[in-house]
Amino acid sequence: MTSPSSSVQEARKALGQRLAEIRNAAGLTKRALAQSLGWHESKASRFESGARSPSERDLRDWCSACGAEGEAEDLVSTARGIEGMYVEWRKMERHGLKWAQESVVPLWERTERFRIYSPWLIPGPVQTASYITALLTSIRDRRGLIDDVPAAVKVRVEKQQVVYGNHTFAILLEESVLRYRIGGTDVMAGQLGYLLSVMALPSVSIGIIPQDADRSGLWPVEGFFLYDDELVNVELISAHLTVVQKHELAMYAKTFSELAELAVYGPAARELITAAIESLG
């Protein structure tokens, strides 16, 4: 898998290549374009190489100088998408956890097919309220956020209604996820019990990758949510990453398929979950 920083940088380079194509189509050198806009030539070079992100004004001026005003809005839209690819948690959560939860509701509602891989947590669509409370309380304390955990929990629980709508969920968990005692033994017992019940829903497929699976070909990777074939979200320690490049989406889809082949389902998955419950003592 590519690193978060390389994903963003690659998107910037792709935007730079489009700028170079527009400039070349207009028959302008970088120097001529820069002079017409009153820029230093290095500014145009940095935009085209992806070393610097152009502002919306820069993009519109570029298109105007090249006689390609019709390209401007699409470029601005692309640039805004790149700007939103890598968002630090402190920025995303500056208005509190409730707002951060609400911000993804439209995406959840319009997605028909969810593919979720989690190597460390039970994922959002199948979490209990107690498990959510434990997670968000920890996040609040660790990041020094305002205390709106109850309101944030309410929003996340309401978001889970998509599990009962016209959506499908393919969820892959590493077996170790079942053993991490988030919120203590009682919270985990309730969460694992809920996982057993939600597996019966026709819209939900849950696969567990056993700890003793042969991982010589594919080791655990970062957790990710794949929404249809539209975008991937990855939660990092410091930031929230959105991947939209088509070839990267294909890489995540391929990785999900390969991980799915390592997983067990049905009775075998239930056995692993039941064993985890029993281990809680």
Q: What is the pLDDT of residues 123-147, one digit of tens each?
A: 999 999 999 999 999 888 887 777 8
Q: What is the mean pLDDT of residues 164-190?
A: 95
d(CA 134, CA 151): 14
d(CA 210, CA 176): 8
Question: Three-class SS of residue 87?
Answer: strand
Position 246: which residue type? Answer: K
Least confident range of 19-23, 73-77, 87-91, 274-278: 87-91
The domain ranges of the chain are 6-84, 87-279
Is the fold of 6-84 the same as that of 87-279? Answer: no
d(CA 54, CA 12): 9
Contact between residue 78 and residue 62 where contact means Cβ atoms under 8 Å apart: no
Tell me which fold the domain 6-84 belongs to.
434 Repressor (Amino-terminal Domain) (1.10.260)
Residue 235 φ/ψ, nearest 5 degrees? -100, 115
Q: What is the pLDDT of residues 62-84, one digit of tens each?
A: 999 999 999 998 888 778 777 66
d(CA 217, CA 55): 43
> What is 87-279's CATH number, 3.40.50.720, 3.30.870.10, 3.40.50.300, 3.30.2130.10?
3.30.870.10
Number of neighbouring beta carbons within 10 Å of residue 179: 15
Give the single-character DSSP code of 55.
Answer: P
pLDDT beyond 50 at 221: yes
Tokens of 61: 């001026």
